[in-house]
């Protein structure tokens, strides 16, 4: 009995030392960041920029894997259930907080099944339409929506996505239910908007800025209180008479709950290097996004944000009464 106990204590000490040593050496193989939306979209764009910079800092390849579907909850579930060894991470957005209310039967808990690493960036949204959509401005769009209702189609990335949230606020403000078309991310939705198969969408500036500047889509408003330096001619939703349609999309990086603190610290260090890397900050600024700072790319800041955003959106979603299940 006594020997057994001593052996167990020794084994625990050896194993403990082993995992501490491997945490110090982390990473010794490529790290995967799961993006819970399709490739080529706004969350993917931010993630690839950050992953490239983190590859340099960590000395190991940081690979992006797109696991789209169910408004981002399929990709999030994948990471919640992954080994907590730091090699499978999640880069998600505001949906990490809204899905807690929108999905009454989630297979994971967005607040407790993840170890926050840090905030990545803030990205505004834009209300956009196919190029030949008749309404010339927001006033005309409101009139057209009231006249045509669900003849107008609205693209989103599924329930729980930022485009869903923005569309929900837009339809509430207009008091008109549009016909929703769900995609696995707003990259395929943008393809259909460009092809004229769908009429309207809200999407992050990281996906719409080049198209707006190139004149390939129409823009009605930005969903921020102030105009954006990157799109100075585009009015805000407040200016356009829709003050309740305000959504700021924030992105965060997470590991599964139970990841070793030393591994999280190493990832946090690499994230902080990424959000202050001029290659990342310059490109994000061109796309209308604001990177996190060394102070906000931290576990404490992201944990606090997730908690406060779950509390902020819960009553809004409950008032809309739109659930995924």
- List of residues contacting ligand ASP (CB under 6 A): 37-38, 41-43, 95, 156-157, 161-163, 185-187, 203-204
Task: Kindly tell me which of 86 and 160 has the beta carbon lying closer to ligand ASP.
Answer: 160
Nearest to 183 by CA among 316, 76, 323, 36: 36
Nearest to 306 by CA among 225, 251, 246, 247: 251
Smallest gap from residue 64 Cβ to ligand ASP (A) = 12
Task: Kindly tell me which of 41 and 124 has the beta carbon lying closer to ligand ASP.
Answer: 41
Beta strands in 46-152 (DSSP E): 62-66, 88-92, 114-130
CA dist 91 and 195 (Å) reads: 29
Smallest gap from residue 18 Cβ to ligand ASP (A) = 39
Do residues 68 and 75 lie in contact, with contact meaning Cβ atoms separated by under 8 Å? yes
Task: Kindly tell me which of 118 and 160 has the beta carbon lying closer to ligand ASP.
Answer: 160
CA dist 92 and 156 (Å) reads: 16
Task: Kindly tell me which of 173 and 182 has the beta carbon lying closer to ligand ASP.
Answer: 182
The dihedral formed by the CA atoms of 324, 39, 42 and 172, expressed in degrees to the nearest 10: -20
CA dist 245 and 139 (Å) reads: 14
Smallest gap from residue 156 Cβ to ligand ASP (A) = 6
Smallest gap from residue 59 Cβ to ligand ASP (A) = 28
CA dist 302 and 311 (Å) reads: 14
Smallest gap from residue 155 Cβ to ligand ASP (A) = 9
Task: Kindly tell me which of 95 and 256 has the beta carbon lying closer to ligand ASP.
Answer: 95
Smallest gap from residue 35 Cβ to ligand ASP (A) = 7
Task: Kindly tell me which of 102 and 263 has the beta carbon lying closer to ligand ASP.
Answer: 102
């Amino acid at each position: 009995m006594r020997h057994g106990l001593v052996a167990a204590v020794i084994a625990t000490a050896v194993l403990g030392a082993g995992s501490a040593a491997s945490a110090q050496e982390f990473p010794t193989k490529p790290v995967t960041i799961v993006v819970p939306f399709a490739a080529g979209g706004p969350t993917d764009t931010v993630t690839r920029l950050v992953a490239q910079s983190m590859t340099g800092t960590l000395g190991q390849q940081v690979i992006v894997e797109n696991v789209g579907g169910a408004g981002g909850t399929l990709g999030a579930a994948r990471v919640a259930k992954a080994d907590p060894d730091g090699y499978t991470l999640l880069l998600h957005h505001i949906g990490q907080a809204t899905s807690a209310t929108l999905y009454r039967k989630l297979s994971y808990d967005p607040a407790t099944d993840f170890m926050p690493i840090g905030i990545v960036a803030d990205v505004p949204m834009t209300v956009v339409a196919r190029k030949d959509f008749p309404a010339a401005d927001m006033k005309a769009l409101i009139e057209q929506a009231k006249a045509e209702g669900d003849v107008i189609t609205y693209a989103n990335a599924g329930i729980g996505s930022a485009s869903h949230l923005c569309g929900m606020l837009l339809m509430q403000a207009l008091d008109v239910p549009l016909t929703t078309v769900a995609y696995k991310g707003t990259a395929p939705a943008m393809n259909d908007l460009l092809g004229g198969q769908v009429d309207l969408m809200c999407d992050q500036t990281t996906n719409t800025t080049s198209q707006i500047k190139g004149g390939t889509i129409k823009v009605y408003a930005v969903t921020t209180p102030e105009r954006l330096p990157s799109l100075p001619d585009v009015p805000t939703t407040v200016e356009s008479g829709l003050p309740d349609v305000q959504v700021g999309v924030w992105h965060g990086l997470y590991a599964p709950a139970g990841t070793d603190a030393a591994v999280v610290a190493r990832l946090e260090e690499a994230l902080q290097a990424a959000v202050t890397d001029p290659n990342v900050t310059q490109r994000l600024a061109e796309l209308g996004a604001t990177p996190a700072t060394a102070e906000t790319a931290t576990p404490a800041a992201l944990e606090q944000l997730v908690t406060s955003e779950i509390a902020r959106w819960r009553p809004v979603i409950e008032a809309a009464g739109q659930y995924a299940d």
